[in-house]
Amino acid sequence: MSTTHGQVIKCKAAIAWEAGKPLVIEEVEVAPPQKMEVRIKILYTSLCHTDVYFWEAKAQDSIFPRILGHEAAGIVESVGEGVTELVPGDHVLPVFTGECRECAHCKSAESNMCSLLRINTERGVMISDGKSRFSIKGKPVYHFLGTSTFSEYTVLHVGCVAKINPLAPLDKVCVLSCGISTGLGATLNVAKPFKGSSVAVFGLGAVGLGAAEGARLAGASRVIGVDLNSARFEEAKKFGVTEFVNPKDYNKPVQEVIAEMTDGGVDRSVECTGNINAMISAFECVHDGWGVAVLVGVPHKEAVFKTAPINFLNERTLKGTFFGNYKPRSDLPAVVEMYMNKELEVEKFITHTVPFSEINKAFELMLKGEGLRCVVKM
């Protein structure tokens, strides 16, 4: 790989030229990594709802042309000045948020919200010099979430790169760099269900099933899946979900349904939809005295959370989490080891695989709501 060190690399990338239009695969030029940057050869990437959301650009301003993608796995091709812990050939997961290891958040054992590298959906350039590392015929193509994994090569800040076990199959562990770890960590790191406890999971997409998998690993005895789509219930059994509730089947609030099912409420709940009403239900369905609800889904920016203060006074706890409270560089390697040790089952999250030339098919599958994760082989 060292023959390309310091050189511009020409490779294929899937370009989003405008909102909602199919991605176009064409040749891009990828500049070498600058100070504290890493250039990675992406081998596998997968599609997450966040990619689709910013590609559609219905609810926010997106910049185009742009290279989307943030859930992936690859191999370090070259490193820039100042990078000491990574070398060419290392197996890595690129991550949409980072860990600079210098700021107050990174030094805190309780936070993973790095001041320098936390998620920024609007920035389309590198932090160091405000420029893009991608271009077509001399014109810049913008980055996405600091990752841009829908390209055969990409450049990231070193703080957004997690070095992993070189024996881990990259076509499987690529899905651990975003959604599944977000749900898994929300349960294991934040809700922390005890053995034999009851857990309600709101939303049974990939993130919610990651949360359910966390409840299974923690030894929960009851995992109640809540979703408006009953077709998801059969699949969810593979992830440890033991009971199902479709709020549309009842003429009373779902929190009341769950409280009746569980003699006063569940021990823990994890909300993975971003719907404000589901968030309120997830909080109000936990047991008084010890219940903990964790919010994972991202609500509309104008949404307001309304509940009676007595719900807090009766010793229910409400928490929020970002990326499952995992610090990307410090903690993701251990999540990969959970898979290598056969504790965490990753294969069941991967329902489709397509070649890079058919990346638009992955978008079609997600828009139809078919499957969980589609892995794209570069």
Burial of 328 (0-12, 13-18, 19+ CB in 10 A): buried
State both tokens at 325: 């409270």
Contact call for residues 378 and 94 (beta carbons, < 8 A): no
Using the CB atoms, write b or e for 166-194: b if 16+ within 10 Å. Answer: eebebbbbbbbbbbbbbbbbbbbbbbebe
Give the separation between CA 14 and CA 68, rounded to whole angstroms: 8
State how far Cα 72 lies from the chain centre: 11
| First-to-last C-alpha distance (Å) of the chain | 17
Which residues form the catalytic set? 48-50, 70-71, 100, 103, 106, 114, 118, 178, 373
Give the separation between CA 188 and CA 185, rounded to whole angstroms: 5
Residues in the chain: 378
